[in-house]
Amino acid sequence: MSLLSFFVENKWVLLFYGLIVLLVYLNRHRFQVQNKIIMMYKTKIGLGLMDRIGVRHAELVKFVAYCGIGIGFAGMLLIFYTLIKNLISLLSVPDAQSAVSLIVPGIALPGSPIKIPLISGWIALFFVILVHEFSHGIVARAHNLAVKSSGIFFFGPLMGAFVEPEEKKLLASPDTTQYSVYAAGPFSNILLAIFAILILSYALTPIVSALTVPVGVTLAGVSDKYPSQAAGLASGMLITQLNSKNITNYEEFQSGLSCVKPGDTVSLVANGTLYTIVAAAHPEKPDKGYLGVLASSAATRELKTKNVFTNLAYPVLLWIVELFYILAILSLGIGLANLLPLGPVDGGRMTQTALERTKGKERGAVWWKKLTIITFFILIINLFWPLIKWVGGLLGLLM
C-alpha cells in the first residue's frame, strides 16, 4: 500500500483523530502536561464508588486481588516469551508477519493484518480502560490506600485513563499489597476477556445459530506482499468457494488449504468474484503453501427466515457479537501488554518490587532498569519492524 492510498483509504478516520487532537489542544488549559506529550485531565469521578466497593467488601476484594498476583506473574512470563519468539521469527524468517501489533480503531496499520472497526473499537476500548483503572482503585481502597484522583489522558489522538493512589503509602506497604494493586488492572482485563468469550460462546453464538445458516467465511485480514493481496482480496470479503467446493465455515476453509503446496493454483470465490491465486511458500514452513489470508473463525451466516423484525434485529445482533469479539481481543491484549516488565506499566512495577526485595533496593533498581531497557527495545522492534519494512519499501520505490 502506497502512502497516498493509505491516506485516501483512511481519510475519514484520520479526520476523526485529527479532531480529537484539535479539541484537546483547544482545551489544553484544562489538562496537566507530563513529559511534554501526555495531556492528563484529573477528576474525582468514580472515587465514591471505589470506596463503596473497596471498603465495604474489602476482604473479598483482597482475596480476588491476591489470586491476581499469580496470574499477573504468569502473564508476564507469557507475554515476554511471546515477544522473544516473535522477534526471532521476524529476524530469521523473510517476510514473516508480526504476531504483535499496535491497534488503532478504524485504521489498518502497515504490517498488521487486523483492522478494528472505529465505533465498536472505541466502545470496547472504553470498557477495557474503565475496568482496568477502576480495578486498581478498588483494590487500593480495600487496602485502605487513598485514591487522590481519576481521569483521562491523551497521547496524541490515543486516549487512556488513570487512577492516582497515594504513592508514598503504596510503596511503604507490604509486597503482597503492592503486587495486588499493580496486578489488579491486568487481571481484571483477563477476567473481562473470559467474560466476553463466555457471552459469545453460550449466549450470542447460539442465538445467531438458531436464526441463521452458514454461507461462508469472512476475511479478517490480508498480509502485505502475499498472493492474496496481489490478486485483489481484502479484509471483509466473503469466501463462498475454494477450488470449486462450497465453503460454509472456517473448518472447511482451513481443511481445503491444508494440502496446498508452494506453486499450487488455488481458486477462490469472494463476494461473487472468482480469484485465481498461485500459493507462495509459508514464511515459517517453506514446504507448505501460503496465500496470506486471515479468515475469521466465525462463519458468516444468513437469516433462515426474513421478515420486518428479523431484518431490523439481525444487524443489531451482529453488531453486538462484533462488539464482544473486539472486547475479548482488546481486553486480553491490553491486559497482557500491561504485564510487560517495562518501566511504569503494571508488570514493570511488579518486577521492580520483586527485584528490590530479593536483591536489595540499590541492586534491584539497577537490575530493573536494565530489564526495562531490554524489554523496551524488544517491544519497539516487535511493533515497528513491519512499519520499518513498509517505509523502506516506499523509499525503495521512490529511489
pLDDT digits (tens, 9 = 90+) for 101-133: 777 888 866 656 567 888 999 999 999 999 999
Does one domain contain both 99 and 132? yes
Of 291, 311, 345, which residue sits at a domain end? 291
Does one domain contain both 162 and 232? no
Q: How far is CA 272 from CA 135, 191, 202, 269, in A?
A: 48, 40, 32, 6
Does one domain contain both 243 and 168? no
Q: What would the pLDDT profile of 314-326 be if each residue is shown by its tens digit?
A: 999 999 999 999 9
Count helices and strands in the chain by DSSP H and E runs: 13, 12
Of 291, 312, 345, which residue sits at a domain end? 291
Does one domain contain both 13 and 142? yes
- Is residue 156 pLDDT above 80, yes or no? no
181 within 8 A of 143, measured Cβ to Cβ: yes
Whether 379 maps to a domain, the answer reads: yes
* Cα gap 396→382, rounded to integer Å: 22
Does one domain contain both 165 and 66? yes
Whether 324 maps to a domain, the answer reads: no
Q: What is the pLDDT of residue 330?
A: 93
Q: How far is CA 398 from CA 10, 95, 392, 395, in A?
A: 22, 21, 10, 5
Q: What would the pLDDT profile of 226-256 be if each residue is shown by its tens digit?
A: 888 889 888 888 999 999 999 888 888 888 8
Check residue 271 and give left, alpha or beta (phi > 0: left; psi -120 to 50: alpha): left
Does one domain contain both 111 and 248? no
Whether 261 maps to a domain, the answer reads: yes
Q: How far is CA 43 from CA 30, 99, 268, in A?
A: 11, 37, 54
* Cα gap 366→374, rounded to integer Å: 13
Does one domain contain both 64 and 174? yes
222 within 8 A of 235, measured Cβ to Cβ: yes
Classified as helix, coil or strand, 372 is helix
Mean pLDDT of the chain: 87
Whether 176 maps to a domain, the answer reads: yes
User: Residue 395's beta-bridge partner residues?
Assistant: none
Does one domain contain both 245 and 376? no
Of 270, 291, 312, which residue sits at a domain end? 291
* Cα gap 124→130, rounded to integer Å: 10
Does one domain contain both 60 and 147? yes
* Cα gap 360→11, rounded to integer Å: 53
The total number of structural domains in the chain stands at 2
Does one domain contain both 59 and 189? yes
Does one domain contain both 65 and 109? yes
User: Residue 226's beta-bridge partner residues?
Assistant: none
- Is residue 35 pLDDT above 70, yes or no? no
Q: What mean pLDDT comes out for the span 162-185?
A: 93
CB count in 10 Å sphere of residue 216: 25
Whether 13 maps to a domain, the answer reads: yes
Whether 105 maps to a domain, the answer reads: yes
* Cα gap 365→378, rounded to integer Å: 20
Dihedral sign from CA coordinates of 303, 305, 311, 312 = negative
pTM value is 0.80
Q: What is the CATH number of the domain that holds 263?
A: 2.30.42.10
* Cα gap 49→55, rounded to integer Å: 10
Does one domain contain both 272 and 359? no
What range defines the domain where residue 241 resides?
A: 227-291
The lowest-confidence range among 8-12, 79-83, 133-137, 272-276 is 8-12
Q: What mean pLDDT comes out for the span 258-264?
A: 91
Whether 12 maps to a domain, the answer reads: yes
